[in-house]
Amino acid sequence: MATIIVPAHNEASVIADCLDSIVGQDGVDHIIVACNGCTDDTVKIVRQQFPDLVCLDIEKPSKTHALNVAEDKARELGVSYPVFYIDADTRLSDNCIKHITQTMMHDNVLLAAPTPRIDTSNSSWLVKTYYRVWTSLPYIREGVIATCSFIISEQGRKRFKRFADVIGDDGFVRCHFKNSEIANIKGAEIYIKAPKDIFSLIKIKTRARLGNMELLAKNLCPIQEAKHYGNVMKSRLFSRDFFAASVYIMIALIIRIRAKKQFSKIDNYQWETDASSRNT
């Protein structure tokens, strides 16, 4: 049996679809929606449409703080493992929760995620090209990177005490585990809407890169395994994927420069979100 935690900040346009994909699935003990700093109708929607769920109305607009508060509530209720931390702007496939729970138990996986299915049907050509390359990269296929949602076993949750006050909660969790301890679970899917335009894509990817820079600067990554991806893009530049790879590299360079500039003022960072995918 599992515990589900859904952090939500101003997710009125998507929260019902997310919770509809969770409610009714087998193998769930508790579902906790950690609304944080909401100024829209997120709390109202959860409490009116899903009255049987635990809805927390947290004043502080912080995802990591919301996760910590939700975990405290879960312990009060009697937390069951694994714990699913699911982003409010995603949806789970049928039987996802039971399948992941059983797979983690049998395969001794400590950190998992559903297999991501990124919907680019409403995205621009540049966004589609970026994701076509990105989703094929080795470090994405290794697991628990492309989803922003994750599942932790009871043993795995002992790796850290609290979620640190950082931009990248998923990156923080990921760097507490070895590659051999994680997996994207086949047969369980999470549906993610890609940004509609390139500007929205650059915003969220800058945030992700900035989050990783922050983790390294604050020495919050106890496990750092060597990565051997240096020749991946180089080889693609000399293949028939040359044009798509060139587009990807150009966008990635913009993201890198933008993140570096924001990192110099990280103490005053303003959280950037993708509104485009929530309006399609």
The set of residues, in sequence order, having a beta carbon less than 8 Å from that of 201 and lying 6+ positions away, is: 126, 127, 130, 194, 195, 251, 274
Q: Where are the domains of the chain?
A: 2-279
Tokens 């040359």 belong to 242
Find the range with the poorest average confidence among 89-93, 162-166, 226-230, 250-254: 226-230
Q: What is the CA radius of gyration of the chain?
A: 18
Confidence of residue 270 (pLDDT cuts 50, 70, 90): confident
Q: Taking Cα atoms as reference points, which of 137, 86, 118 lies closest to residue 252?
A: 137
At 85 the pLDDT is: 98
Helix axes 198-217, 242-263, angle to 10 degrees: 60
Q: Would you give the DSSP letter of residue 81?
A: S
Confidence of residue 272 (pLDDT cuts 50, 70, 90): confident
Neighbour order of strands in the sheet with 90-92: 54-58, 28-36, 2-8, 83-85, 150-152, 111-119, 182-193, 90-92
Confidence of residue 134 (pLDDT cuts 50, 70, 90): confident
Structure tokens at 165: 């006050």
pLDDT at 156 over 90: yes
> What span, in angstroms and rounded, lies between the C-alpha atoms of 167 and 216?
12
At 137 the pLDDT is: 79
Find the range with the poorest average confidence among 83-92, 128-137, 208-217: 128-137
pLDDT at 87 over 60: yes
Q: Mean pLDDT, to the nearest integer, of 254-273?
A: 89
Confidence of residue 141 (pLDDT cuts 50, 70, 90): low
Say which amino acid occupies 128. Answer: K
CATH code of 2-279, in short, is 3.90.550.10
At 241 the pLDDT is: 80
pLDDT at 210 over 80: yes
Q: Residue 32: how many CB atoms within 10 A of its CB?
A: 23
Residues 189-209 have pLDDT tens digits of 999 999 999 999 999 999 999
Q: What is the mean pLDDT of the chain?
A: 91
Share of the chain above pLDDT 70, in %: 92
Structure tokens at 71: 């975990």
Structure tokens at 245: 């790879």
Say which amino acid occupies 246. Answer: S
At 275 the pLDDT is: 85
Q: Taking Cα atoms as reference points, which of 8, 29, 178, 191 lies closest to residue 96?
A: 191
Structure tokens at 148: 């922003």
Tokens 């992700």 belong to 208
Q: Is 82 exposed, middle or buried (0-12, 13-18, 19+ CB in 10 A)?
A: buried
> What distance, in Å, lies between the first and last C-alpha atoms of the chain?
34
Residues 38-60 have pLDDT tens digits of 999 999 999 999 999 999 999 99
Q: Mean pLDDT, to the nearest integer, of 23-36?
A: 96
Between β-strands 90-92 and 182-193, what pairing exists: parallel, antiparallel or unpaired? antiparallel
Say which amino acid occupies 40. Answer: D
At 276 the pLDDT is: 87
Q: Mean pLDDT, to the nearest integer, of 99-112?
A: 94
pTM for the whole structure: 0.92
Confidence of residue 233 (pLDDT cuts 50, 70, 90): low
> What span, in angstroms and rounded, lies between the C-alpha atoms of 31 and 36?
16
